[in-house]
Amino acid sequence: MLWLADAFEAIRDFMELGGPVLRWIALVIFVMWALIIERLLFFRTNLQAIAKNIRADWEGRAERRSWNAHRIREGMISRFSMETNGQIMMIKTLVALCPLLGLMGTVTGMIKVFGAMATSGSGNVRAMAAGVSQATVPTMAGMVGALSGVLLVTLLTRRAAREIEFLGDSLTMDH
């Protein structure tokens, strides 16, 4: 249990080192990963059942060649696409937001450095160091958050496109 307390203390110290913007970055990364995990679980559990139901509905149709049947097929694929791509756009937005928040942390940290230099000159290295850490830590955290999300959002996007294409190919037009 001592390791847990040490880990919590290290995280707290890191969060204080990065300043207030780092809390926002941490929140964005947490929400992004919660949505990524939700999508991964969706692909693992619900996706195949939804596709199976759509295929059964399509195969249960007596007529599949008319213009109306083509529109119904497109609607089925579209609904499946919407469910499959559910939170992927939000994840992409959060991935893009991470480096922007990191940049905001850089700017606020540099403002702190310039403020320390204005009040005490360039001789107060300790005050400048606090501002530099508030400038660099959020930048690093924003980039790490974005990089961790980019890989997964790419994999999720490809998987969604592959599943949608597979469903479209499996809804045959014969009959």
Is the four-CA dihedral 136, 142, 146, 148 of positive or negative sign? positive
pLDDT band at 158 (very low <50, low <70, confident <90, very high): very high
Render pLDDT for 2-38 as a digit per residue (tens, 0 to 9). 888 888 888 888 888 778 889 999 999 999 999 999 9
Q: Is the pLDDT score of 145 beyond 70?
A: yes
In Å, what is the CA distance from 99 to each residue of 52, 103, 141? 40, 6, 8
Render pLDDT for 66-101 as a digit per residue (tens, 0 to 9). 899 999 999 999 999 999 998 999 999 999 999 999
Average pLDDT over the chain reads 89
Q: Give the C-alpha separation, 110 to 128, whole Å.
A: 9
Cα dihedral 127/133/139/142 (nearest 10): -120
- Domains in the chain: boundaries: 2-170
